[in-house]
Amino acid sequence: MRYFNVLAVVLRTNNESPWTDEFDKIELSCLIESISTLNPRIEWKKIKNEGPSYVYFDKKVSGDLENRAVIREPATLVITNATRSDTAKYRCEVTAPDDQKSFDEIVIDLTVRVKPVMPKCSVPKSVPVGKSAELSCLEEEGFPKSQYQWFKNKEEIPDDPKSSSKFLNSSYTLNADSGTLNFIAVRKEDAGEYHCRAKNDAGYAECPAQTMEVYDIDIVGIILGVLVVVVVLLCITVGICCAYKKGYFSGQKQAGNNYKVPSKGDGVDYVRTDDEGDFRHKSSFVI
């Protein structure tokens, strides 16, 4: 670094797009190639969607890097324990009042890679032959975003079934971005143990294997079952019709209620007693 007989501050970096794995150390190099000012002002800013924020200002590390970063002379920022939140653009700014060109800056785009966690997998337990089936796989912690692979009986399923003799007769589509494996028409040979792997540049993680069974549809049994139900319903219907014809469902009148109140004669009143159907008369004499 030269401090005399120059008229401009000039910066450079060894890597404009560095990356590191989570919890590792990373250096964001800001090298001063030329400067005349003896004590230039050095600042670092972190730039995200919500705007810039100070990382190094007034010779102090600040913000969320306060206890995780240091400045290595003259201006390199060293992050000792990177986390996923450190993924951002970082701007090194150097101000040199004694130089004719008194200001320069460089921007570094840092990526912190995060290993995927165990994905959530969904495999149907049983599927009839000829029907469709969907297997899903998802994890949302990894960075960059995970890509997905499916395995059957510990053997990787190719993106194109025609590319492998073992899967040549299978009819499926595999989406490595979304993690879905769709069978258009399941065959008996598709039965087996399936598991998924989520991977990115930082590593991979897998879900436990799950078994998918494939069974034949018993057409004869279904037809016989339907016929049995129809016969039973017909028998019930015929029995009800016969019962109606024989009068089993006609109204039955009790003998004790089948009476008529006699008409009143002159001078005689009929009174019904508490015993149903029993009448007595009382005489009245007209003088």
Reported as a single tens digit per residue, the pLDDT across 82-135 is 999 999 999 999 999 999 899 999 999 999 999 999 999 999 999 999 999 999
Residue 264 scores a pLDDT above 70: no
CATH 2.60.120.10 fits 120-215, yes or no: no
- What pLDDT does residue 238 have? 76
Higher pLDDT, 69 or 34: 69
Which residues are bridge partners to 147 per DSSP? 199
Reported as a single tens digit per residue, the pLDDT across 151-174 is 999 999 999 988 888 888 889 999
Residue 5 scores a pLDDT above 70: no
CB 104 within 8 A of CB 11: yes
Question: How many C-beta neighbours within 10 Å does residue 268 have?
Answer: 11
Residue 282 scores a pLDDT above 80: no
Question: Average pLDDT in the 181-207 region?
Answer: 96
Higher pLDDT, 263 or 240: 240
Domain covering 10-113 in this structure, CATH number: 2.60.40.10
Question: Average pLDDT in the 191-208 region?
Answer: 97
- What pLDDT does residue 6 have? 47
- What pLDDT does residue 77 have? 96
Residue 207 scores a pLDDT above 90: yes
- What pLDDT does residue 124 have? 97
Instruction: Parse the chain into domains and list their residue ranges.
Output: 10-113, 120-215
Q: Which of the four pLDDT bands, split at 50, 70 and 90, describes residue 230?
A: confident
Question: How many C-beta neighbours within 10 Å does residue 281 have?
Answer: 13
Average pLDDT of the chain is: 85
Q: Where are the alpha helices (DSSP H) in the chain?
A: 219-245
Give which of 216, 217, 198, 220 is closest to 207, Cα–Cα.
198
Question: Average pLDDT in the 17-46 region?
Answer: 93
Q: How many residues does the chain have?
A: 287
Q: Which of the four pLDDT bands, split at 50, 70 and 90, describes residue 231?
A: confident
Question: Average pLDDT in the 243-258 region?
Answer: 60
- What pLDDT does residue 171 have? 92
